[in-house]
Amino acid sequence: MFSKTYHATHPDMMECVSNDELRDRYLVSGMFVEGQVNLNYSHNERFVIGGAVPGKEPLKLPEQSEPASAAGHPFLERREAGIVNIARAMKWATRNASTSPWARVR
């Protein structure tokens, strides 16, 4: 479900860490791939960050696969979403348009 999971670190763990190790531990990359939703999870704040670049087909947020108790449920069932569009106009639709004030945003 997540491209990468970032784990919390204690300051003592960071002594003598190289630039490459810091980059591997903290740099979020590869988020914007056409036709894909790429999500990364950070244990620091239980934070999900990702990117989505629509291609020819509409994109869909993944259904949860972890933790096991949330498997099969909609991704935003227990989360809030902040969406920033940095490209062209987009359409956003929820699964249940009748109860969501954000059913359609252009």
Q: Where are the alpha helices (DSSP H) in the chain?
A: 19-26
What whole-number percentage of the chain has pLDDT above 70?
A: 81
Strand-pairing partners, residue 17, are none
Q: Is the pLDDT of residue 39 over 70?
A: yes
Strand-pairing partners, residue 48, are 41
Greater confidence (19 vs 67) lies with 19
Return mean pLDDT, the chain: 77
pLDDT tens digit sequence for 74-95: 878 777 778 777 776 666 666 6
Cα–Cα distance measured from residue 1 to residue 23, given in angstroms and rounded to the nearest whole number: 22
Greater confidence (101 vs 20) lies with 20
**Token pair of 14 as six digits:** 């960071």
Average confidence (pLDDT) over 43-58:
83
Q: Is the pLDDT of residue 40 over 70?
A: yes
